[in-house]
Amino acid sequence: QLVESGGGSVQTGGSLRLSCAASGLVIRWSIMGWFRQAPGKEREGVASIAPVRGGWSVSYGDSVKGRFTISQDNAKNTLYLQMNSLNTEDTAMYYCAAGPAGTWDRASILPTSYTYWGQGTQVTVS
């Protein structure tokens, strides 16, 4: 189970940190990601982190590079998304996702890489 929190309303230029508490899986063994979907638009990959040989791989969507940071607290089994310099284009429902456990070649923001999805948390930037 994946439970997102931390969404809300914020002004342009502001920041939010989203959290995703996982149960029933160990996030440090799995590929984890954040996605978002705005009304009338397709689901968009935002950020991903995956275990790879020798460490971790991280990937970001082009629209959030340099502004968003994905991280995880393995002791809390929780995934985070720090979002800075928010603008109105970031308004969307944000979803946490988890894929199969294992060693990956690289992180992936493709939805097909993921098996489990949270219910989402709304982020509104005005």
Mean pLDDT, the chain, integer: 96
Give per-residue pLDDT as tens, 53-104: 989 999 999 999 999 999 999 999 999 999 999 999 999 999 999 998 888 8
CB neighbourhood size of 59 (10 A): 18
Tell me how far apart the alpha carbons of residues 91 and 37 are, in angstroms, rounded to a whole number: 9
For 52, half-sphere exposure in the C-beta direction (CA atoms, 13 angstrom radius) is 12
Q: For 33-51, what is the mean pLDDT?
A: 96
- Cβ atoms of residues 98 and 104 within 8 Å: no
Q: Encode 82-110: b = buried (16+ Cβ within 10 Å), e = exposed.
A: ebeebeeebbbbbbbbbbeeeebeebbbe
